[in-house]
Amino acid sequence: SIVSHDLRSSVYALKNSNNALLNHIISERYDEASVQLEQNTSIATNTYNLLDNLLHWALLQTKGGYFKQELHRLGMLVDQVAYNFQSLLKEKQIEFENQLPKSCKAFIDAETIKIVLRNLMDNSIKFSDKNAKINVILLNETPTSIQFIWRDTGRGMQEETRQKLLSNSAQLTKKEHEKEIGSGLGMNLCISMIHKNGGTLDIQSQLGIGTDFIVTLQKIGLDGAKD
């Protein structure tokens, strides 16, 4: 029911935006139509991401989907995800920098971790204003684990929101700085998939300053597999 509310709100917003776009075209206000078209694209993208998260969440709950942990270079996965967000980063003039050394490896399922990274990127872009920065930084590395920070200089969040996002279930939450309702499904999916890979996720945030997503992953499998 929570996700249905999200989808209903998104489709209704797209309907209204399309009506405004049509009026701008009929009135030959093409500059306003261009702005409206960008808004339509943003709404459609957010709706697609929600549906994508819902699909992966359903597969996770039913223990469906392919899952195989192997050693992967984290920096390479980050670069692959960032490449698909280049247009959105450019549109909002957000600077992105992947500072993970090429030597950083983790024992993970690459596809589920890429879903996590996509959600982190989408979240950072969505809740950042123009000229913000996103950095991926190595925090700590031991023989058995690796810890990195996904840091943005976005709008941040209140402590209550931070705690809700870290809880173990998707919740209906009103963002302090957004008109839209959010289910928390994307972050719930991140936590579940990181846990499935044997890792942990923590969040540190200050309203108006930015957010750090702290991810810890294993470098060695339960069966002792390692580099």
Structure tokens at 195: 């846990």
Write down the pLDDT at residue 98.
97
DSSP bridge partners of 138:
148
pLDDT at 35: 84
SS3 21: helix
Cα atoms found within 13 Å of the Cα of residue 153, Cβ hemisphere only: 12
Q: What pLDDT shows up at residue 174?
A: 43
φ/ψ of 167, rounded to 5, equals: -70, 170
Torsion angle in degrees (nearest 10) through CA of 100, 104, 110, 112? -60
pLDDT of residue 91: 82
Enumerate long-range contacts of 176-185, CB under 8 Å, 24 or more apart: 176/207, 177/127, 178/127, 180/9, 180/13, 181/5, 181/6, 181/9, 182/6, 183/2, 183/3, 183/5, 183/6, 183/50, 185/2, 185/3, 185/6, 185/50, 185/53, 185/54, 185/57
pLDDT of residue 216: 97
Three-class SS of residue 215?
A: strand
Q: What is the pTM (predicted TM-score) of this model? A: 0.76
The pLDDT, as a whole number, for residue 107 is: 96
User: What is the chain's pLDDT, residue by residue, as a tens digit (227 residues)?
Assistant: 656 666 777 787 788 888 888 988 998 888 888 888 887 887 787 777 778 777 777 777 767 777 899 999 999 999 999 998 888 898 889 999 999 999 999 999 998 999 999 999 988 998 999 999 999 999 999 999 999 999 999 999 989 888 888 876 545 444 444 444 455 778 888 999 999 999 999 999 999 999 999 999 999 764 455 54
pLDDT at 178: 46
